[in-house]
């Protein structure tokens, strides 16, 4: 589902959500920009820009987005198979970078993205689109490579010239992000994307225990008795007030995406509270938890989640 609403459902466990945004007309289930069968399934058909921010793929925003979110790969489609040429990324939430990659330091890559950043800055690209939702999403989409490049420099990866070029790119990324930044008042007026997703009619409101469905529960954010949200409280493990109540996924994304966890037990809140009490009393290996800094469950003593739990 392209940039509509990212939903991670783990059946008989939990439902976690991360916001993205809806773009205009409904898309076909099988997006024509991607391969859907064989070894190339999930690969883009072309390196060309996608119509993410504007209907014209050649729009500056689309070209800038694609320069960071589309890249070639030469990897096996499955473990043990021969590497094949693919085009990864596109209209997704995850920036394709990892600690050991040198792709974003290669001269060709740096030159391509730098030219587009310069074009944006010199032509006042922020004025091309006025939609506040698209402005804030472009800021997020550029923040991902900014964080990655800065972290590479903090870790002092690469020689001095490589680190200097990263710094230059980060400075330009920061200038673009500042230009598209919304005021607090504008942020407060952003549409509620979960409601938009439900009203779009593109999601199932029941799952029938089929993990293949694009399922969004209707009352997830409005009925606290039906859906219970779990807070992540690490006060005994960390004195950092900024991260004490934050899930690890949010920390990993450095706040660019915010993750929330909800449960719906078959018999409601009381059953969930009783279950958590049992886990606390008998399911946690407190000795190991104290040593590693995270809760570690005892697989033999932890009670099973009731069948039918979401």
Q: Which pLDDT belongs to residue 249?
A: 64
Whether 47 has a pLDDT exceeding 70, the answer reads: yes
Domain ranges of the chain: 27-188
Question: pLDDT tens digit string along 177-223?
Answer: 999 999 999 999 999 888 999 999 889 988 888 888 888 999 888 88
Question: pLDDT tens digit string along 227-271?
Answer: 988 776 554 444 454 544 556 666 666 667 777 888 899 998 899
Which has the closest alpha carbon to 254: 177, 149, 121, 143?
143
- Which among 80-94, 121-135, 147-161 has the top mean pLDDT? 121-135
The secondary structure of residue 155, as a DSSP letter, is T
DSSP states of 178-194: HHHPPPHHHHHTS--HH
Q: How far apart are CA 298 and CA 277, in angstroms?
A: 15
Query: Among 46-50, 75-79, 112-116, 272-276, where is mean pLDDT lowest?
Result: 75-79
Query: Among 75-84, 246-255, 283-292, where is mean pLDDT lowest?
Result: 246-255
Q: Which pLDDT belongs to residue 157?
A: 92
Identify the burial level of 111 via C-beta atoms within 10 angstroms of its C-beta, where 0-12 means exposed, 13-18 middle and 19 or more buried. Answer: exposed
């Amino acid at each position: 589902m392209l940039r509509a609403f990212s939903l991670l459902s783990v059946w008989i466990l939990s439902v976690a959500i991360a916001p993205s945004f809806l773009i205009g007309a409904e898309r076909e289930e099988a997006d024509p920009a991607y391969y859907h069968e064989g070894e190339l399934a999930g690969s883009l058909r072309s390196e060309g820009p996608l119509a993410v921010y504007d209907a014209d793929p050649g729009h500056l925003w689309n070209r800038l987005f694609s320069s960071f979110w589309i890249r070639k790969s030469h990897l096996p489609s499955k473990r043990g198979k021969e590497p094949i040429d693919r085009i990864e990324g596109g209209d997704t939430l995850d920036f394709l970078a990892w600690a050991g990659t040198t792709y974003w330091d290669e001269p060709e890559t740096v030159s391509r993205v730098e030219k587009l950043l310069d074009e944006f800055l010199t032509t006042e690209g922020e004025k091309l689109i006025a939609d506040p939702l698209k402005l804030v999403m472009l800021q997020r989409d550029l923040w991902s490579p900014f964080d990655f490049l800065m972290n590479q420099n903090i870790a002092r990866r690469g020689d001095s010239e490589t680190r200097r070029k990263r710094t230059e790119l980060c400075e330009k990324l920061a200038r673009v992000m500042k230009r598209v930044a919304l005021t607090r008042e504008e942020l407060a007026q952003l549409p509620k994307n979960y409601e938009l997703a439900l009203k779009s009619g593109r999601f199932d409101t029941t799952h029938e225990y089929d993990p293949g469905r694009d399922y969004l529960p209707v009352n997830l954010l409005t009925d606290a008795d039906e859906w219970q949200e779990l807070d992540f409280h690490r006060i005994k493990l960390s004195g950092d007030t900024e991260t004490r109540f934050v899930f690890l996924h949010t920390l990993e994304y450095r706040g660019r995406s915010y993750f929330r966890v909800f449960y719906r037990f078959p018999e409601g809140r009381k059953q969930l509270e009783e279950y958590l009490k049992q886990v606390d009393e008998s399911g946690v290996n407190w000795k190991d938890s104290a040593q590693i800094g995270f809760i570690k469950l005892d697989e033999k003593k932890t009670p099973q989640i009731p069948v039918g739990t979401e």
